[in-house]
Structure 1
Amino acid sequence: MLSGATALGRGAPAGGGATSPPPWPALREELQIHPTGANRDGSPAWHVCDPVRNLFFRIGWLEFEILLRWDMADAARIAQEIARDTTLAPDADDVARFQGFLEQHQLLRTVRRKPPMPAWRWLLNNYLFVRIPLVRPARLLEKLLPWVGWLYSRWFVALTVLAAGAGVLLAARQWDTVAANLRGAISWEGVLGFAGALIVSKLLHEMGHALMSTRHGVRVGHMGVALLVMWPMAYTDTGESWKLARSRHRLAIASAGICAELVLAAWSTLLWAFMPDGDLRNALFFLATTAWVLTLAVNASPFMRFDGYYMLTDALDFPGLHERAGQQAKRALRRWLLGFNDPSPETLTPGFRRFLIAFAFATWLYRLVLFIGIAVIVYHAFFKALGVFLFMVEMGVFVVRPVMAELRVWHARRDEIRPGRRIAAALLLALGAAVLLVPWHGGISAPGVIRAGVEQPVFSPYAARMAAMEASDGVAVAAGQSLVTLEAPGQSEEREKARVMSSAYARAARGAMGLEERPAAQQVLAEQQASRWDTERRARDAELLRLRLVAAHGGTMRDVDPLLQSGTWVAPSQLMAMVVDGRRWRVEALVPEHDRQRLAAGSRAVIIVKGRTRKLEGQVRAIDNSPVRRLPHLLLAQDHGGPIALNPTAQKKDLRPAEAWFRVTVEGEDDTPVDVVREVRAHFEGTRESLARRWINAATSVLIEQSGF
């Protein structure tokens, strides 16, 4: 039954004849009312509690006075009575609107019950967030609270602040170690370590809420696991904290989880800085990084109903912050775009109203990004066809449906729009249609690398010994100039042997006619052997001539191996130097398939070199017909600071991209030579197309590719 500061009416007499108004509804008997802190304008406030559903509703002075006179069963009489006994001046419509509020939230006995929801619809609405209660810890928390009372002392808070400052300072001085640990955590062991740290951190988080609630006399109904997009996470039921009259006590409960994680992060960071390398230090690192990052990036955000939202709500003492801010933002949006002059839903100061409007727009933008991210996660979490379906459901329910609901309001009130606003809206729609439908977009931007257009690697043709390096690093060389002289003792010996054998057989052929037995046959045989050995000698000479390495074109010697000395043996695979002509350059840019179809050989390209201010102009020389299986250079890999993600299933050294990229080769000349390989951004002018066509093609491609149809 209703209890608290006063008792409220239970019911009303039924109506009479056919023309009488409908029966006055009765309040539900189990409802309770509790006084709470004053509103922002200083007026008193109360909470109406629904213990069956564990819900509460905050009402003001007028609503409280209406509830006191509910048994009068007449809206006009209730309004007159309130106007006579108080300084309020309501009318019958105010009472009727409050009756509609009570009926909407099922606080009346005569409210029509909703039909049971089908199982498929319940699953569609609730699969993103499902709570599973596991324990009822109220008694255990009461016994545990005296043992942890020191955690709330001032001296411990001061020590924790000092530990946090010292730990962060020491970690900053060991930033190289921190970065190395983060890179080393990208492994199965690291994933397991972070998962374990996450479990510990979140359990302490929920324990912080539970202990603080118990400390302020709020019963913790249950604790358990919530499934957020099928991802398990702990939760604590602190729903009865609304009973606290002081907002700072509610703020303490809302912030207790974040404070618990920050305490864990502070002491873990400090201990990590002093611990020797080992498993314990690794565990502290996982605890510290998990607590710092997730607490500040997720839990502290006020744009979703996490701790940050309730902390901001209690700090402002403004319940229903998201809904009330959204109402102010919708009112402002309708006034700006359509000229509607709707009255404000509530009395607020101009400054606070502007804050609510800005907060609502920031919340909408944050949720748009978040819901798109959730839709992508859902898409990847299931098999292709179901993933596409759930992606469309997510976008429809959380993005399209709210927008369509607001547009329906605009359409229903279209007669209220002034002619000038209609013309402005039509012009705005026409401009939007032009931006989407007119094929003005022709630019293509692609990542790539630039290198010298002419490069001659200097290799030995076979295993040989260094005789002389005739050009040093950075020296300009001309075409045909000798670069390296090598020698091959084995080849020289074989050449000398062939020369000697050829000479010997030639002498034998000349003296064969003086033989007594078969002189002609002996001469022919000797001449054949002399010719064979002479051919081998010439072949050996040709092989030895290959050891004199010359420049095929003019350029500059680069990357000369400093370990090469006279007498050093080199292998055929060993790069000894490079001859580079940097005045001519070549860019290997990578474009997706859609952009490749819009490019043509011979088109103009503008190259922006990373680290340079002057642009380069070149021409497209070639466009690959098949995607690259290996990136042209590791500078493009995301793991090395580049823009292209690597395939997670392949080894990092393979540089295999995660998506299909096509190589576009651009060549040009410039007075400033290209001396090293650099990352660039290539800009092309392709076939023009509209944004709408581009988006439709991309969406259609994804649907066809991923649905499996």
Structure 2
Amino acid sequence: MMHRDPNTLDLSQQKLCLASDLKFWPIHQRGELVYRIEIPKLHKFFRVGYEEYVLLSLLDGKTTLPQACGLAAAKLGKRAPTTSDATTIARWLIANELAHLPSVPSPSRTVKRSSDHGVLKSLGKWNPFWIKVPLAGSTLIIDRASRFMSALFCRAATLVGVLLIAAAMVVLASHWAEFSASSAALYLPGNWFGILVAWVVLKVVHEFAHAVACRRLGGEVYEAGMVFVLLAPLAYVDVSSCWRMNSRWARIAVASAGMYVELLIAAIAVFAWLAAPSDAARFLLFQVIVTAGVSTLLFNANVLMRFDGYFILADLIDVPNLAAEGSASVRRSLAWILTGKDSNQPTLGSWRQPFVLFYGIAAILWRVVVCTTLFMAASAMFSGAGIVIAMLGMGLWLGPPIKVIVDAIRRQLADGVFASLRPLLIGTGLLVAIGWLVIVCPVPTSIGAPAVVQFLPETVVRAQAAGFVRVIHVGDGENVKQGQVLLDLENHQLTNRLASMELTRQQNEIRLRQATEEHDSASEQLIRRNQISLDEQLMPLRRQVAALKVLAPRSGRVIAPMLSQRIGDYTEEGESMLIVAADTDKEIVAVIGQEVVEDSRSYLGQQIRILDAGGQSLRGRLERIEPRATDRLPSPAMAVTEGGSLAVRRADFGDNDAKEDVASMRLIEPAFRGRVSLHGKTAMEIPAGTRVTALLGYHAESLASRWKNRIRELWFQVQRAN
């Protein structure tokens, strides 16, 4: 059946008839009486005001549109729609197949209809960024699940659940350092399968919660299935029937049911995590907490996408079609900018109209960011095939709006070249300006390098010989003088070797005297050469044995909190034993990323700002930047597992330094170290080990370049972790 474009119909004397399968019911919205319209077979809902409803009730297929306007005016007076309003309403009814001409059959709800964008819409269903697959028999599964989950949504259970979630948040906050120590393992590819399984299972439970809540409050579930976002599976359910509910709080309850159940699971997992007997169980529960708690707040509570947070916000501000209203508000504003024509604004109240406009702009920007990120992620993750997938997805996403723009340009050109001059010039200027801002315009941002306050390298006392710690002569915080004995080490193998060589030297001296007395020149020369060789071997050996008595290289205060526990420990040669330093012997070591190191080098020798955790500003001098990047941490305190900001991984098992958890951590991506000197007074005020941020000037880069580099960095981190 052919359908004409409503905009091409002359409705001045036409008779309209409402579709026979429509359902109407009144509700109160923002203190006014409005009517909802439902097409039951399609599960579509619409809303009209009371005045529009009166006009619609007169469209019986026998009354022309002007006659209906007259009858409505007799009943409503000045509140009645004008002829122009009635024409707009009629075109809207026909476009949405809520009404039809008497000469045309009532719209069919079972046969898929073509449209001007039919090909694009059909292809759009297979956009790799968003593929929706309904599941057969899903309503039967939901019926069975409702029997078990319905009790979760009674008032008593909901109150207990909310209190449990609140208690879990308090407990998690008090154990945050311990909890965050597991985050480094999230970068390991071996753990991704478990995270994916937890994600899929929890999202299925999430959608079941929506369905059960909808059923409990009197709604119906028409469909359920899976949505694949860049091939990542997500579950979905169609609970559009909740729009039949007159209470907006009932609709909010349905929208928030999924997040409530996920947060409840996360809360239970928090308490189980505290009592878990093994590290494996604790990490499994950590995955559940992150997936059910953090991810559901970041994604499902996002009001800029049509997830749970969006529907909750729409009901809270009493704007049911918030996304559509926002898009329409943006289009009206754009049309006014381009053409200067002010279209009729909907009645949304004094504050709702600017709020909806702001929401529409934010939602469009968010969709652009998300789709651009998915585009770059697909290109990076799937190499050549990813580029094809990304191009296909972007084409299918941009196709419909581009066609709308092209059609709008055609209609504008039909009004004449002069009338089209302003929108074409302004539109082209806006596109060029947006492209320049995103692709070309450098955006300067401050370079903030994570850093830590440390004592100067020369203050570290290292073992000059290997051995066991036998005697400790000083304590932490004690003031010592240069040359004072700090520790006694014991190495029987070393001392026995020295004694043996000393004995050999003495024996060699005896043989040398005998050869001299006997005037045996040949033997004398041979023994002297042996004596020289022995002396060369004895010199470093004597230094090592002497180094078993560890002396203070300088005067200062001993800094070694765990020194008293080192009795009996074996110490390798070169290992750090303790620190002897004055309060001014400190510097700041910054970790500088590879992408900003060149910008940072321009500040060598200059004063820079340093911010501590409390926001207090200090000053320091950037002395040097190490010429080579390293993946070693300057201090364990900088790792995210210890409350810092640097993502880390475990070193390879073959790494000799991977003996302890802290020492086995490496940066995901190698970075450069910058050393910042401190003024004496500043060094005295700030404790060693304090995490700070070094502000190393500014880095200018376009937004597009930043997105591209960020995706590349993330993928590089994945490759490094693998």
Equivalent in 67, 80, 92 of residue 77 of structure 1: 67
Following TM superposition, by how much is the alpha carbon of 1:134 offset from its aligned partner in structure 2, in angstroms?
A: 1.8
Q: 1:214 to 1:437 in 2, by over 3 A?
A: closer
Q: 1:400 to 1:619 in 2, by over 3 A?
A: farther
Equivalent position of 1:540 in the other structure? 538
Equivalent position of 2:90 in the other structure? 99
Q: 1:361 to 1:342 in 2, by over 3 A?
A: same
Once residues 132 and 220 of structure 2 are traced to their aligned partners in structure 1, the CA distance between those partners, rounded to angstroms, is: 18
Q: Secondary structure at the match of 1:135?
A: coil
Determine if the alignment matches structure 1 residue 596 to structure 2 residue 586: no
Equivalent in 52, 57, 63 of residue 52 of structure 2: 63
Equivalent in 594, 599, 610 of residue 608 of structure 1: 610
Equivalent in 505, 514, 534 of residue 498 of structure 1: 505
What does the per-residue CA deviation read over 1:203-227, in whole Å, with 9 as the maximum and x for residues that have no partner? 4433333344444554432322222
Once residues 262 and 48 of structure 2 are traced to their aligned partners in structure 1, the CA distance between those partners, rounded to angstroms, is: 35
Instruction: Decide whether the 8 Å contact of 1:556 with 1:580 is kept in 2.
Output: yes
Once residues 155 and 100 of structure 1 are traced to their aligned partners in structure 2, the CA distance between those partners, rounded to angstroms, is: 49
Cα RMSD over matched residues?
Answer: 5.9
Q: Which amino acid is the alignment partner of residue 56 of structure 1?
A: F
Instruction: Decide whether the 8 Å contact of 2:186 with 2:192 is kept in 1.
Output: yes
Once residues 392 and 324 of structure 2 are traced to their aligned partners in structure 1, the CA distance between those partners, rounded to angstroms, is: 25
Determine if the alignment matches structure 1 residue 36 to structure 2 residue 37: no
Q: Secondary structure at the match of 1:615?
A: strand
Equivalent position of 2:236 in the other structure? 235
Q: Which amino acid is the alignment partner of residue 618 of structure 2?
A: K
Q: Secondary structure at the match of 1:304?
A: coil
Instruction: Decide whether the 8 Å contact of 1:136 with 1:221 is kept in 2.
Output: no
What does the per-residue CA deviation read over 1:388-427, in whole Å, with 9 as the maximum and x for residues that have no partner? 972896599589979x979x99x999x99xx9xx99xx9x
Once residues 436 and 42 of structure 1 are traced to their aligned partners in structure 2, the CA distance between those partners, rounded to angstroms, is: 47
Give the 5 Å matches for 1:74-473.
74-87=64-77, 88-107=79-98, 108=100, 109=104, 113-115=114-116, 117-118=118-119, 122-123=123-124, 126-136=127-137, 153-160=154-161, 195-245=196-246, 247-261=248-262, 264=265, 290-314=291-315, 317-328=318-329, 342=342, 345-353=345-353, 355-357=355-357, 359-360=359-360, 363=363, 370-371=370-371, 373-375=373-375, 377-383=377-383, 386-387=386-387, 390=390, 444-449=447-452, 451-453=454-456, 455=458, 458-459=461-462, 462=465
Q: Secondary structure at the match of 2:320?
A: coil
Following TM superposition, by how much is the alpha carbon of 1:114 offset from its aligned partner in structure 2, in angstroms?
A: 1.8
Q: 1:367 to 1:507 in 2, by over 3 A?
A: same
Q: Which amino acid is the alignment partner of residue 512 of structure 2?
A: Y
Moved more, 629-638 or 54-63: 629-638
Q: Secondary structure at the match of 2:458?
A: strand
Q: Which amino acid is the alignment partner of residue 71 of structure 1?
A: G
Once residues 143 and 698 of structure 1 are traced to their aligned partners in structure 2, the CA distance between those partners, rounded to angstroms, is: 45
Once residues 568 and 208 of structure 1 are traced to their aligned partners in structure 2, the CA distance between those partners, rounded to angstroms, is: 57
Equivalent position of 2:671 in the other structure? 661
Once residues 503 and 257 of structure 1 are traced to their aligned partners in structure 2, the CA distance between those partners, rounded to angstroms, is: 93
Instruction: Decide whether the 8 Å contact of 1:603 with 1:619 is kept in 2.
Output: yes
- Unaligned 5+ runs, structure 2: 4-8, 108-112, 654-660, 717-722
Once residues 567 and 273 of structure 2 are traced to their aligned partners in structure 1, the CA distance between those partners, rounded to angstroms, is: 53
Equivalent position of 1:49 in the other structure? 39
Q: Which amino acid is the alignment partner of residue 32 of structure 1?
A: L
Q: Secondary structure at the match of 1:43?
A: strand
Instruction: Decide whether the 8 Å contact of 1:636 with 1:679 is kept in 2.
Output: yes
Equivalent position of 2:647 in the other structure? 645
Q: Which amino acid is the alignment partner of residue 71 of structure 2?
A: E
Once residues 139 and 245 of structure 1 are traced to their aligned partners in structure 2, the CA distance between those partners, rounded to angstroms, is: 27
Instruction: Decide whether the 8 Å contact of 2:207 with 2:235 is kept in 1.
Output: yes
Instruction: Decide whether the 8 Å contact of 2:187 with 2:649 is kept in 1.
Output: no
Q: Secondary structure at the match of 1:71?
A: strand
Q: Which amino acid is the alignment partner of residue 97 of structure 1?
A: T
Q: Secondary structure at the match of 1:488?
A: helix
What does the per-residue CA deviation read over 1:324-363, in whole Å, with 9 as the maximum and x for residues that have no partner? 245457768999x999794662223324445545655665
Q: 1:78 to 1:589 in 2, by over 3 A?
A: same
Equivalent position of 1:16 in the other structure? none
Instruction: Decide whether the 8 Å contact of 2:51 with 2:80 is kept in 1.
Output: no
Give the 5 Å matches for 1:484-523.
488-510=495-517, 512=518, 522-523=520-521
Following TM superposition, by how much is the alpha carbon of 1:185 offset from its aligned partner in structure 2, in angstroms?
A: 7.9
Equivalent position of 2:719 in the other structure? none
Once residues 299 and 566 of structure 1 are traced to their aligned partners in structure 2, the CA distance between those partners, rounded to angstroms, is: 55
Following TM superposition, by how much is the alpha carbon of 1:47 offset from its aligned partner in structure 2, in angstroms?
A: 0.5
Q: 1:678 to 1:548 in 2, by over 3 A?
A: farther
Q: Secondary structure at the match of 1:322?
A: helix
Instruction: Decide whether the 8 Å contact of 1:476 with 1:555 is kept in 2.
Output: yes
Q: 1:72 to 1:639 in 2, by over 3 A?
A: same
Q: Which amino acid is the alignment partner of residue 509 of structure 1?
A: T
Instruction: Decide whether the 8 Å contact of 1:601 with 1:620 is kept in 2.
Output: no
Q: 1:341 to 1:97 in 2, by over 3 A?
A: closer
Number of aligned residue pairs: give it. 666
Instruction: Decide whether the 8 Å contact of 2:18 with 2:60 is kept in 1.
Output: no
Instruction: Decide whether the 8 Å contact of 1:453 with 1:667 is kept in 2.
Output: no
Once residues 183 and 20 of structure 1 are traced to their aligned partners in structure 2, the CA distance between those partners, rounded to angstroms, is: 67
Instruction: Decide whether the 8 Å contact of 1:630 with 1:657 is kept in 2.
Output: yes
- Unaligned 5+ runs, structure 1: 1-10, 12-18, 513-519
Instruction: Decide whether the 8 Å contact of 1:509 with 1:524 is kept in 2.
Output: no
Instruction: Decide whether the 8 Å contact of 1:301 with 1:308 is kept in 2.
Output: yes
Q: 1:606 to 1:352 in 2, by over 3 A?
A: closer
Q: 1:496 to 1:464 in 2, by over 3 A?
A: farther
Following TM superposition, by how much is the alpha carbon of 1:490 offset from its aligned partner in structure 2, in angstroms?
A: 3.4
Q: Which amino acid is the alignment partner of residue 318 of structure 1?
A: V
Q: Identity over aligned residues, as a percent?
A: 20
CA radius of gyration, larger in: 1
Q: TM-score, normalised to structure 2's length?
A: 0.70
Following TM superposition, by how much is the alpha carbon of 1:320 offset from its aligned partner in structure 2, in angstroms?
A: 0.6
Q: Which amino acid is the alignment partner of residue 92 of structure 1?
A: T
Instruction: Decide whether the 8 Å contact of 1:492 with 1:540 is kept in 2.
Output: no
Q: 1:485 to 1:654 in 2, by over 3 A?
A: closer
Following TM superposition, by how much is the alpha carbon of 1:596 offset from its aligned partner in structure 2, in angstroms?
A: 1.3
Q: Which amino acid is the alignment partner of residue 345 of structure 1?
A: Q
Q: Secondary structure at the match of 2:66?
A: helix
Once residues 376 and 385 of structure 1 are traced to their aligned partners in structure 2, the CA distance between those partners, rounded to angstroms, is: 12
Q: Which amino acid is the alignment partner of residue 61 of structure 1?
A: Y
Once residues 173 and 600 of structure 1 are traced to their aligned partners in structure 2, the CA distance between those partners, rounded to angstroms, is: 42
Q: 1:374 to 1:77 in 2, by over 3 A?
A: same
Higher relative contact order at CA 8 Å, sep ≥6: structure 1 or structure 2?
Answer: 2
Q: 1:494 to 1:358 in 2, by over 3 A?
A: same
Once residues 552 and 497 of structure 1 are traced to their aligned partners in structure 2, the CA distance between those partners, rounded to angstroms, is: 33
Once residues 182 and 527 of structure 1 are traced to their aligned partners in structure 2, the CA distance between those partners, rounded to angstroms, is: 69
Give the 5 Å matches for 1:546-585.
547-548=545-546, 554=554, 556=556, 558=558, 562=563, 572-578=573-579, 583=585, 585=587
